[in-house]
Structure 1
Amino acid sequence: MIKRIFDLCLSCFAALFLLIPFLLIWLLVKVTSTGPALYWSDRVGRHNVIFKMPKFRSMRVDTPAVATHLLNNPQQFLTPIGSFLRKSSLDELPQLLSIIRGDMSFVGPRPALFNQDDLIALRTKYGVDALMPGLTGWAQINGRDELPIPDKVNLDVAYMQHQSFWFDLKIIVLTFVKVLRRDGVQH
């Protein structure tokens, strides 16, 4: 309950504080590419329930709905500002809405795509599916896109076993450092 109250307060504050950058990014996406500014991705939430997670659209509208690392040439699908949005993690800002709605938390395992069967199966096997997915997580700050799936799940399990308010705060602070350095971003 404390985690939910913290998530709700922080996400509402962040949404108000980031309203102008949010509107500017929305406008930039609309001006530089065709299609909607937001992309609603089917993601796996707590207990493997599918939910719609918003992101600023960094890929063209005809991009296949698979994890970026599975595309032959992900660069060909990026919008003119897509690379910048991904490297700066600004494409993730709309996920504050998912936190407010209660589909996500600030900290937890990153929500898998609906078709990442190997990741979903491993998380379910080790009980990680019982956690609320997060905007950031222990695996995010320990490798992000560079980690093989078994390593991600091991880090998710470690988070599950050691989760606390202070551990969450540590992960949030380390996430800001990683985002500023653009560590672990491949596309």
Structure 2
Amino acid sequence: MKSRNNKISVVLVVLSLIYVIYLTYISNNNLLVGATVSKGKNGDIVITNVDEFSMASYSGIEKGDIVKSINNKKINTNEIKMNKLKNVSSMIVERNGHNLELKMTLFNDKNFTTYLIPLIFYIVCLFCCFFILKINESKNLLSAVVLIIFLLSASIAFISAGGSAKGDMLSRLIMVVTL
């Protein structure tokens, strides 16, 4: 890496890798999005609203369900922030007098389109960036840096949409900036 342009490109690639690792964490730990909860009359946690086309609706949660346990543990009020559930991978709800176990997984239809496909696109763009860096070592062209910035910007915008859909404000900001 003799040129300044290549060093800038490497820094951009490393920053994008850190951001994608952060988004992977968000995608794994915020699987349940789209359910609003409140405390019921008996102190129970009740689902008051389920957004259409959200992770909550895809997992089978319905309005009026009473949450019995989250991740095989008693309900902790720390799990509820701003009337939203966070870090839920499994949940037992009471519906019509029957207990139902609902599981949220990373490999479902919603995460496939909001995380896995953009991740594959990012990996392909990253692969292209490494080839461009290798070729540009001897030529030191500014156009190579512009191409790397374009590829990273497009892939980061695409993968940020998934983080934004999960309610992450940093992802929303980065998506707007990279578009």
Scaled by the length of structure 1, what TM-score is found? 0.23
> What TM-score do you get using the length of structure 2 for normalisation?
0.24
> Whose radius of gyration is greater, 1 or 2?
2
